[in-house]
Amino acid sequence: MLPAKSPLALALAVAAASVSAHADESLTLPSVTVSASALEQSADRMTQPAAVLQGDEWINQRETGLADSLESLPGVQASNFGPGASRPVIRGLDGARVRVLSDGADVMDASTISPDHAVTADTALLERVEVLKGPSTLLYGGGAIGGVVNLIDRRVPTYIPERGYEGEIDLRGNTVADERTGAVGLSLGAGQFAARIEGAKSEADPYNIPGSPSTQEGAYNETESSALGLSWITDRGYVGLAYSRQDREYGLLAHEHADCHTHGPADWHCVEHDHGHDHDDDHDDDHDDDHDDDHDHDDDHDHEHEEHGQAYIDMKQRRWDLRADYQDPFSGFERIRVRVADTDYEHVEMEGAEAGTRFTNRGTEGRVELTHNPIAGWRGVIGTQLSRRDFAATGEEDYVPPTLTHNRALFLLESYEQGDWIYEVGLRQEWQSIERKDGNDDADHKGTSVSVGASWQFQPELVLYGSLSRSQRLPAAEELYANGPHAATRTVEIGDPDLDRETSVNMELGLRRIQGPVTFDVSVYRNDVDDFIYAADTGDDPGAGYRVVQYSQADAVLHGLEGSISWQATGSTGLTLFGDSVRGKLKDGGDLPRIPADRYGLRVDQRLTSHLGAHVEATQVMRQDRTADYETETGDYTLLGAGLSWRGVLGDSDYLLFLRGNNLLDEKARQHSSYIKDEVLLPGRNLTIGARLAF
């Protein structure tokens, strides 16, 4: 799977060798339930890797961007298109292959279409985040062959506060971008009803980077979010409805428009954009060259994006969520779970004061899950999922035609527990139809996904788990129908309406230790994908720094190793070694693009007093020289972080104070999984200070 001398493989092997020396000591980790697993299983006994970030751990490492908040997890990195837009990359897969959910329902934004489109999740309003690594198509659809990120919020109340009310206030800021973030939430309850109101606001200037220039021009971000929810709650469950909204504006990095025209299906020519022709006279031709050396982003937070022709996105989303969870709904079933979401999403890509392209996505999704009573020892979930997506892009970059996509699915997941063993089997059948609104090249696809898995707790402290799945992903509209220039990636994208479904066969084997001073979770996996859809660089040079990419299919394989090993050395000192490594290749030869570099690191946690804790963490990111055609390499770098936290009680309220440092060595770092790694550095040295009060 990995080279015998891989630093990650050697480090994990050395750390694992210490486990037997401490086998007789007992320490049991608290069980964490994963709601995205449908049967709400403990993460310790699941047949695939899962991670949950919650409580102080989530509060301390939370960033404005979702993917940036998850990068501490083995196997998870960020696509990094600046602070405003960054999607999770799981085991080398991103985009439509990783689904982001809001408590089980798709977020239904436009982030899967292009890496410069933001995930519409405000991390300041999340209670916890669940990550399922590996194929999750059985429950959540054929797109999720990479994994699922499930965002758990509190906008729909699920219980009545004991005192009739409870809430939290969260404030934080940082030095690298002069970020100011505040969030507040309040839950109220009376009788069988509970209400929730919450809001958050964040502002950040272009962040500092090592060297000269010292600022990543254009990398600003402004977000305002709010939600209001109401639930009817009984001792058997709840039914609730919530309305949420988000307004966001953020700068587009390395964003260079060109005037492109075609002389045939694959014969494109591009010239540098004549701003004076298409925009007002204030639009600066040099917006990609730091906007003038003396550009000041600190005057009243206006960022001068209109005066200097700054490219940015002005985004709005309005969303309704209906959620219900009820025990013993009728004979033969122990639970019913309902999720319905309706989203109205829009963003406009601006250049200065002029609107370029308007993206709209009106989506509705509904799913019903029924947990049946055990039948011959088998406990399971049957369900259905329906979704409708009305997408359009109009303006300069209407490279994807307006489409209407319908998805329908039936799924079944069964689990059987016998002694120390848990067995799982699952089946999903999915149908998709994509209608082009211009009447051309409609597409209909169907896919079948099956899986089997098992976990064996062969010792009280040890769990061996494995799974084998065959999953099918149906092609997305942009892969089928794209035809035109895309400034975000500096490409001319050409789709193929004849693309077929992807078929992925994934094998996974892992070992967990859940008790004792040494605990770990280490896994190896292999994912063979027939007809893998990817944007192949044709090698054509249309001009203006653009490339021509053609959506194509070829067989591919991704395989890797990931894990973490923790040692509670004393009652107050803990050490954690972590790392991940993934390889992605086409079977006919050549590497897949933007495969994350190998990482490994060490974290030391120290409990100084009953209130005060500290940590130091170092992560080594290796050089990535396994590159696709026309892709550049990235160098290695070390990220050093440290932090302090103080937890205390103030009357009837709990509070948390924290100070965290990132990239303390001020290293120049580029993320290989980013489309814009050659133009954009990661943030430099940063200090974050924050406070949270729960009452």
Is pLDDT at 546 greater than 90 in this prediction?
no
Tell me whether residue 62 is in a domain.
Answer: yes
In angstroms, the CA 55 to CA 654 distance is 12
Is residue 326 assigned to a domain?
yes
Q: Is the pLDDT of residue 251 over 70?
A: yes
The residue length of the chain stands at 695
What DSSP letter does each residue of 315-356 carry, written as one string?
A: EEEEEEEEEEEEEEEETTEEEEEEEEEEEEEEEEEEETTEEE
Report how many domains make up the chain. Answer: 1
> For residue 336, what pLDDT band results from cuts at 50, 70 and 90?
very high
What is the C-alpha separation between 285 and 291, in angstroms, rounded? Answer: 9
Residue 58 lies in a domain: yes
For residue 1, being part of any structural domain is answered with no
Paired with 567 in beta bridges are: 518, 575
pLDDT the model gives residue 136: 66
Query: Hey, how many other C-beta atoms are within 10 angstroms of the C-beta on 137?
Result: 31
List the domain range (segments joined by +) for residue 184: 7-694
pLDDT, position 37:
78
Predicted model pTM: 0.89
Q: Would 395 be classed as within a structural domain?
A: yes
Q: Choose the weakest-confidence range: 54-68, 71-85, 299-313, 581-595.
A: 299-313
Could you tell me if residue 2 is inside a domain? no
Round the average pLDDT of the chain to a whole number and report it.
89
Residue 197 domain-assigned (yes or no):
yes
Q: Note the helical H segments in 74-193.
A: 137-140
What does the pLDDT average to over 504-525? 96
What pLDDT is recorded for position 248?
97
pLDDT in tens, 78-98: 999 988 899 999 999 999 999
- What is the amino acid identity at position 249? E
How far apart are the C-alpha atoms of 345 and 389, rounded to whole Å? 11
Domain at 182, CATH number: 2.40.170.20
Q: Which residue has the tokens 């998709």?
A: 432
Q: Which of 559, 499, 509 is nearest to 531 (CA)?
A: 499
- Average pLDDT (213-219) is 91
* Phi, psi of 516, deg, nearest 5: 100, 170
C-alpha 58: how far from its chain's center?
A: 15
pLDDT band at 287 (very low <50, low <70, confident <90, very high): very low
Which of 23-37, 334-348, 487-501 shows the lowest per-residue confidence on average (mean pLDDT)? 23-37
* Distance in angstroms (rounded) separating the CA atoms of residues 111 and 440: 25
Q: Confirm whether 458 is domain-assigned.
A: yes
Q: How confident is the model at residue 198, as a pLDDT?
A: 98
Give CA separation, 352 vs 224, 285, 290, 314, 349, in Å.
21, 11, 14, 11, 10
Nearest Cα neighbor of 589 from 626, 617, 622, 560 is 626
